[in-house]
A and B are shown apart, each in its own frame.
Chain A
Amino acid sequence: MSRANEYHPSLLRGLWALTVRELKKWLNDPVMLLMLVIQPLIWMGLLGKSMNLGAMFSASNLGNIEVPEKIPIPGNYVTPPANGIIYVSGIMVSQIIQQMVSDIGGNVMRNVFGVTDYFSYMSIGMISMIVMTTTMFSGMSIVWDRRLGFLDKVLSTPVPRGAIIFSKVLNATLRAMLQATIILALATIFGLQLSQSFTLLNMFGVYAAIFLLSVGLSSVFLAFSLRSTKLERPMQFVSLITMPLMFASNTLFPITLMPGWLQAVAYVNPLSYMTDALRQLTILTLDVSKLITDFIYLGFFAAVLSSIGIMLSWRYLSK
C-alpha cells in the first residue's frame, strides 16, 4: 500500500496552497470585493474632492470682489486729459488680477505639490493609506487561525514553517496591489492627470514599491499579532499608529511645509518614500534620482522589518 513517506512538501507548494486559501476568502466574496471599490470611492469623494486646495486659488473665488466699471487714475499729467483724470477699464483690471491669481495659484500648487490639481496628489496618497491599512489588518487574520485551531493543524503537517508566514505576507501584498490598481483606475476616471512620462511599464514600479512596503509592514504585524494573546491588541495598535504615520508623511501634504520636528519624522517614515515613488511614477515628471532614493529606502525597510518579523514568527511557530 502507498504510504505517507513518499511525498515531500516543498516551500512553494505549501506557500501556494496557503495563499490560495487566503485569496479564496475574499476573491469569492462579492461583498468584500464591492467594499474594495466603495472604500476608495468614499475616500476620494470626501477627501480628494472636498479638500480641493487648488480651487482656493481659482479665479472664480474672486468673483465677489467689487471692481468699479471705470477706475480713475489721478496725477499730474504732461498733457492732461479733458477733465484732468485718466480712466482705466475696470473689467480689464479685473481680468488681469484674475489671471495673475490663477497663475500664482498654479505656481504655488506646482511648487508645493508638484502638480496643479490636489486631487491627483491626494489620490496617490490614498493608495499609500490603503496599502498601509490593508497590510496591517491582513496579518491579523493569523490570530483567528490560531484561535480556531487551524494554525495548530497546519503546524502538525510537514509544510515548511516559512510557507505559513509567507502566505500571510503574500496575501496582504496581493490585496494591497489589487486595491492600488482599483484606486488608480477610479481616480483616473474622476480626473487624475497622469504625467506625460507615464507608461504601463511604470505600473511595475508602482507594484514593486507597494510590494516592498507591504512585505515590511505585514511581517512585523504578523509577528506582533502572533505573539499577542488578545485579538484586540494588534487592532488597538493599528488604530494607534495609522493616523500618525499618515499625517507625518507626504501622503496628504508636502513635507517641506511641515514644522521641523514633523519633517524629521516624515523623513524616516517609509510611507513617505512609497508615496513619493508612486507619485514619481504616475503624476509627476519622473525624477530618476529621487525614485532611486525611494527604492533604496523601501528596500532597506523591507529587508530589515521582514527579517525581524519573520524571525520572530518563526521562533513562535517552532516553539
Chain B
Amino acid sequence: MVEEVIVARGLTKVFNRNLVAVDHVSFSVKHGEIFGFLGPNGAGKTTTINMLITVLRPTEGTATVLGYDVVKQANEVRRVIGVVPQEYTADEDLTGYENIILCADLYGIPREVSKKRAVELLELVELTGFKDKKVETYSGGMRRRLELACGLVNRPRVLFLDEPTLGLDVQTRAATWNYIERLKEEYDMTIFMTTHYLEEADTLCDRIAIIDYGKIIVTGDPEELKHSLGGDIITISVKEDADISDLIRSVENVKEVRNENGSYRIKVESGEVTAPLVIEALRRNGYTVTRLSLTEPTLNEVYLEYTGRSMRDTEESKEAFRSQRLTIRRARAR
C-alpha cells in the first residue's frame, strides 16, 4: 500500500501566460487522511484539484496519485479517483438514477453492477425517493448529494471534493460532513478537499494547507496550527484616541500586539492570566477600557495570522458567485 497517496512537487499553473493561479505548490497526502485546502476566492484551490484529477495540465511541476503521474499516466489516475466538483454538473434533463448510471458507464462498469450500486448510493445519500425525478427539480442540497453519489460510483480510492458544502444551509452542511466521514470509513478512502469554511476544515480535516494567491502559506493539522499561534488572543479597545501598542507590549507575557483600526489584537500565552495585567497597566496610565474579549485561537486566527486578512471577509462574495453560477445554469434550463 502506498503510504503517500498524493504527492505534489512544485505544481504550477499559469493561465494565459501571465496569471499564476497556482504557484509552485508542494504537499503530500497520506493514506486514509482527509486533507483540506483552505483559501479564499481565486486562491487556486479548484485549479489545483483540476491538475490532480487530470483535467488541467500543469504548466510546471509534477504530481502523482497512488504513484501514477497525473500527466503521463492520466488514465490510471482517472480510474482510481472520484471527483465531486464545485459546480453542480449532473445533467438536469436526466433523473438522479440515470445520472449515476451514466457516470458508471463512463468508468466502464457493467450494468449489472452499476444498477445495484446506483440503488445503494441513492440510499446512502437519501435520494431514493427522488431517484426517478429529473435533476432540474432537485434542491441545492439534493444536487450536492447526487454529485457525491456520482463521485463514488467507481469505488474510488482517492476522493476529490471541491467545496462539498458550498451554498448549503447549516443543517445540510452538517449532514454532508456526516456522509463524508461515513463514506471515508466505509470505502477506506483518502480524501482531498477544498473549502473556505473554517469550521469545516477544523472539524473534518486531519491536515490542512492554507493557500492564498496560489501559494501554500502553511501546512499542518488544525490543532497544531492553532497551538503554533502560541496561546490565546485578547482583543481590547480603549476610549482614548492614542496608540497604546508599546504600552501593552511592555506588559509581562505579551507576545505580540497588532493595531487593527483602534482595536488591539494581543497574542498571549494564557489569556486568563494576562488580561487583568493588561487592564491594570492601561488604567494606571489613565486609559479607559471600553471593550475586551478573550478567544482561544480558532482557524480564523490562524488564517488571519498567516494571510493578514480575515477569512470571513470573503464569504459574502462567495455567495454572490454561487448565485451567479446558478443563474448560468438556469439560463440553460430555459
Contact = CB atoms under 8 A, between A and B. Distances in A.
B59 to A, nearest CB: 11
Given A24-B93, A147-B328, A1 B98 contact: no
B107 A157 contact: yes
Interface string A81-125: 000000000000000000000000000000000000000000000
Contacts of A13: 105, 108
Contact of A155 (B55, B103, B105): B55
Interface in B21-66: 50, 53-55, 57
Contacts of B109: 7
B131 interface: no
Taking residues whose C-beta sits less than 8 angstroms from the other chain, chain B's interface range is 35 or more
A148 B99 CA distance: 15
A14 interface: yes
A150 interface: yes
Interface string B150-187: 10001111000000000000000000000000000001
Contacts of A25: 93
Interface stretch (B74-82, B271-279, B280-288): B74-82
B70 to A, nearest CB: 11
B102 A17 contact: yes
Interface in A3-43: 3-5, 7-10, 13-14, 16-18, 21, 24-25, 28-29
A28 B134 CA distance: 12
A158 interface: yes
Contact of B78 (A3, A24, A157, A319): A157
B328 A148 contact: yes
A235 to B, nearest CB: 14
10 contacts: A1-B155, A2-B155, A5-B80, A7-B109, A7-B110, A9-B107, A21-B91, A149-B86, A149-B87, A149-B89
Given A1-B187, A18-B106, A24-B98, 15 more contacts: A1-B188, A4-B79, A4-B154, A4-B155, A7-B110, A8-B108, A13-B108, A21-B94, A24-B93, A148-B87, A153-B150, A157-B78, A157-B107, A157-B154, A159-B107
A21 B99 CA distance: 9
Interface string A301-319: 0000000000000000001
Interface of A: 1-5, 7-10, 13-14, 16-18, 21, 24-25, 28-29, 144, 147-150, 152-159, 319
Contact of A14 (B80, B83, B98, B105): B105
A3 B157 contact: yes
A260 B157 CA distance: 66
Nearest to B151: A153
A25 to B, nearest CB: 5
B332 interface: yes
B140 interface: no
B85 interface: yes
B55 A9 contact: no
Given A4-B154, A158-B108, A159-B106, A144 B332 contact: yes
A29 B54 CA distance: 35
A10 to B, nearest CB: 6
Contact of A158 (B75, B102, B110, B155): B75
Given A28-B93, A156-B55, A10 B108 contact: yes
Nearest to A164: B106
B115 interface: no
B105 A17 contact: yes
A220 B57 CA distance: 24
A236 B103 CA distance: 33
B329 interface: yes
A294 to B, nearest CB: 37
Contacts of A150: 89, 91
A8 B81 CA distance: 14
Contacts of A9: 106-108
A1 B57 CA distance: 32
A9, A25, A154, most chain B CB atoms within 10 A = A9
A5, A7, A154, most chain B CB atoms within 10 A = A7
Given A3-B155, A9-B108, A158 B78 contact: yes
Contacts of B87: 148-149
A17 B88 CA distance: 20
Given A4-B80, A17-B102, A148 B107 contact: no
A310 B67 CA distance: 31
Given A4-B157, A21-B91, A156 B78 contact: yes
A149 B79 contact: no
A104 B55 CA distance: 67
B54, B79, B86, B94, most chain A CB atoms within 10 A = B79
A4, A25, A155, A159, most chain B CB atoms within 10 A = A4
Contacts of B86: 149
Given A144-B332, A149-B87, A24 B94 contact: yes
A3 B113 CA distance: 12
Given A3-B155, A17-B102, A156 B81 contact: yes
A69 to B, nearest CB: 68
Contacts of B154: 4, 7, 157
Contacts of B80: 4-5
A319 B80 CA distance: 21
A14 B94 contact: no
Given A157-B106, A157-B107, A159-B106, A148 B78 contact: no
Nearest to B156: A4
